Structure 1
């Protein structure tokens, strides 16, 4: 904890006092508020502090120093930790156990942490600057060593984290791989980003001097250049945690150790994604689990919209965030409906399946790139210039039109029911046996626990 706080002040100077102040205020609220409403009060207090700082950054800091180093990043991570901890305490002490989701059962705890445990969790040095987010129960298991010893069944599923002399445990290969990924994308970012700046997507002169097809291609490639810096930060943070022994997640079906407990990104999964859901399943994974834990599983109505809106608030107060995340809600629903109606037509032969995968891969990256440009340029005027003057709102038209057109597409007649059932059975067995992505060994929980990625 002392090292983490020192790193925070060294990196952000006196700005880091905001992180300390938020942590202290929320701990006092956690101890004093009635347990029945404690999680709501602590969540509201933590988010209010964060949003207030976001508002100050967006509207009070002069534009010429807007992109200087600021403490909002660490404050975002600490907000996630505080709010998830409060919800876990509520689930363990007040929640109706029969109504809790698997994720809530996984992370519920029976008593509030001591001050030392609380501040140690918030300020451990591996993740104090850029994360990744970890959950209190996983952190405590790492501290006391139970993450590498056989643990009792949770939710009826036996964890496969037992360590013996015959098991490989070293994080060397995981750390080496993640550092290699970080170095590759760092080189890509510094080489290509200056050549393809994202701001040209809303530059009137660039738009006038280039064809629509070139601008479309430029949008896709410039967003790849923007993703690179996140790949670097996510992979580097994950590697640092693994190097310290944090992030062990049991063994896969081949007996190989899994170091993905605090993994935030799967680059191959993103770049090879064939649907928006698959793309989001592999992006900012820990934050998505947080969104599920504190929002999606707790509200009775408008779950998706509320979750996307919370994600926008957590990121900041610039209009670009809200353009991205609110439209993402409609993109997600449209893609889900399109998959149900259109995919069966392409499952009759292997060639059709390959064609469908290539087509959906291309469409996914076009739609996601179009979706996230406002996330990178932030400001209202520039966002409107991009969507209206550059792209003519083309994908907005396509997405909203799909809600009216898809219901009229007849359902495909399946000629391969037996083959599909056999394939699904094989996939299910593989998922249960290998279980490579899950924090607690339960089968296929990634589909349930990844925040904004809900069916």
Structure 2
């Protein structure tokens, strides 16, 4: 009931009557209303606090104060954790020295996040999401650690030792306290992110972002369409329509297709296996629209404020996907495990790549999945999902490198390959993610036992019987799907010279 969930909400109770009227938990009502308020403030911020009309100090200050207000409204005194985590790591940046502070910031920020997650889960409300102040802390942790590594790269590492992306995002000085708090706690991203690079955020605040994004159209400089300040109106309206559709689908379908139904004894005993597979797909499909709603709304808020511009398409259309967190069609029609992951929670995938995958000397794939599990929280289901994900990734890689070339001889074979891999990918994703939704060990293992661990066994056999060449001996392959928006942006970033436009590795 809304009143029960509302009683555990640590934020404002101003909207309690609305919560009771529509029978939704108060913390969810607070979140949506605050995001809609942030959307209105974003338009005002772009139009009336434009860099040409006011100073960067004012823009930083307003963005920070509005963000902290929204945090207090949603989470009450729990929002102090955001300031404490940011303040603690800022002191490390100032006093630890650039050579090692990225390691200290990483350990402290992730450790503090984990401590808060343990406290929330095992002391307050296991399995509940009311007043989940650790959600914003997850994004703040990404920003803190990203900036720490970027400062380390910019102040201690020789430029020729950096990868193309590291050179692009390197930061040459420790930011001021106001800049740091604005980056971590601004009103556009305080509640739902997404994360972004520090350089991109500062370029947005200073009003230089549009100057950095110049693409060419039809082999000529895009002067015909080029504007200093392109409007995000069309993209914002489109993304709000996606939000409305996602919310409608979630509210209408999710209540009918419950994930818990997959582990009910009567369902397992009386339902043929092929129908269990179909229901699993539908039930997991029904869980995704809530993420589509939250992430797309967050993207629209940033765009409305003028943040997220990513240059121009060849036809002169402005692109507002710099910090987009997902591509829905590429997710729903993914034909490989990797393609799904590349288009789901894009900014988190890029964060994992930059702070872990590119820097880990041993088993970067395993290390990246484990870091993702730790960052998500302390529920055992998260670890079951990401440990299974390691196996899925290795098996998918083995199949691709050994079988794909046999289906490239004709259009009909390619179509057959795409259909088979789409079905296999969707089943594998659903099978992998069930523990992520169920959270606990017992129901998760019950689900896997009902499937006789068959996909685990198949993946083990594939990995054991299909050799995969070491990464440095493999031919470059770009056909698994489009690169993330940031990868495309790097090709035209001013920090990239003509010799550094290499394709970035993806996790």
* TM-score interval, smaller chain: 0.7 to 0.9
Aligned residue number for residue 374 of structure 2: 313
Q: Which runs of 5+ in 1 are unaligned?
A: 154-159, 409-420
Q: What pairs up with 1:158-177 in 2 under 5 angstroms? A: 169-177=230-238
Change (3 A) 1:231 1:151: closer
Of the candidates 128, 132, 157, which is equivalent to residue 66 of structure 1? Answer: 128
Bigger drift between 209-218 and 254-263 goes to 209-218
Aligned-pair distance for 1:376? Answer: 0.8
Are positions 1:9 and 2:72 aligned together? yes
Of the candidates 135, 139, 144, which is equivalent to residue 82 of structure 1? Answer: 144
Report the Cα distance in structure 2 between the residues aligned to 1:141 and 1:396, rounded to whole angstroms.
46
| Equivalenced residues, count | 426
Bigger drift between 195-204 and 1-10 goes to 195-204
4+ residue segments displaced more than 6 Å: 160-164, 443-447
Are positions 1:129 and 2:191 aligned together? yes
Task: Say if 1:261 and 1:438, in contact at 8 Å, map to a contact too.
Answer: no
Aligned residue number for residue 402 of structure 1: 462
Aligned residue number for residue 439 of structure 1: 489
Change (3 A) 1:84 1:446: farther
Bigger drift between 162-171 and 281-290 goes to 162-171
Residue by residue, what CA displacement relative to the aligned partner does 1:274-320 show, whole Å, maximum 9, x if unpaired? 10111111010011111111111112111110011000000001111
Bigger drift between 363-372 and 337-346 goes to 337-346
Q: Which runs of 5+ in 2 are unaligned?
A: 1-63, 216-220, 469-475, 494-499
Structure 1 length normalisation: TM-score? 0.88
Q: What is the root-mean-square deviation in Å for CA atoms of aligned residues?
A: 2.8
Q: What pairs up with 1:115-194 in 2 under 5 angstroms? A: 115-150=177-212, 169-194=230-255
Aligned-pair distance for 1:254? Answer: 2.0
Change (3 A) 1:327 1:32: same
Task: Say if 1:275 and 1:360, in contact at 8 Å, map to a contact too.
Answer: yes
Report the Cα distance in structure 1 between the residues aligned to 2:430 and 2:455, rounded to whole angstroms.
11
Secondary structure of the 2:173 match is coil
Task: Say if 2:487 and 2:504, in contact at 8 Å, map to a contact too.
Answer: no
Q: What pairs up with 1:214-253 in 2 under 5 angstroms? A: 214-253=275-314
Aligned-pair distance for 1:165? Answer: 5.8
Report the Cα distance in structure 2 between the residues aligned to 1:446 and 1:248, rounded to whole angstroms.
22
Change (3 A) 1:49 1:449: farther
Aligned-pair distance for 1:348? Answer: 1.2
Are positions 1:362 and 2:423 aligned together? yes
Report the Cα distance in structure 2 between the residues aligned to 1:102 and 1:4, rounded to whole angstroms.
33
Aligned residue number for residue 350 of structure 1: 411
Aligned residue number for residue 274 of structure 1: 335
Are positions 1:56 and 2:112 aligned together? no
Of the candidates 35, 42, 58, which is equivalent to residue 105 of structure 2? Answer: 42
Aligned-pair distance for 1:140? Answer: 0.2
Aligned-pair distance for 1:53? Answer: 1.1
Aligned-pair distance for 1:152? Answer: 10
Aligned residue number for residue 87 of structure 2: 24
Bigger drift between 76-85 and 17-26 goes to 17-26
Structure 2 length normalisation: TM-score? 0.79
Of the candidates 282, 293, 303, which is equivalent to residue 364 of structure 2? Answer: 303
Change (3 A) 1:166 1:239: closer
Aligned-pair distance for 1:442? Answer: 4.9
Task: Say if 2:214 and 2:312, in contact at 8 Å, map to a contact too.
Answer: no
Task: Say if 1:293 and 1:449, in contact at 8 Å, map to a contact too.
Answer: no
Change (3 A) 1:402 1:447: farther
Report the Cα distance in structure 1 between the residues aligned to 2:242 and 2:214, rounded to whole angstroms.
35
Task: Say if 1:438 and 1:446, in contact at 8 Å, map to a contact too.
Answer: no
Aligned residue number for residue 416 of structure 1: none
Report the Cα distance in structure 2 between the residues aligned to 1:223 and 1:446, rounded to whole angstroms.
36
Aligned-pair distance for 1:445? Answer: 7.9
Task: Say if 1:89 and 1:111, in contact at 8 Å, map to a contact too.
Answer: yes
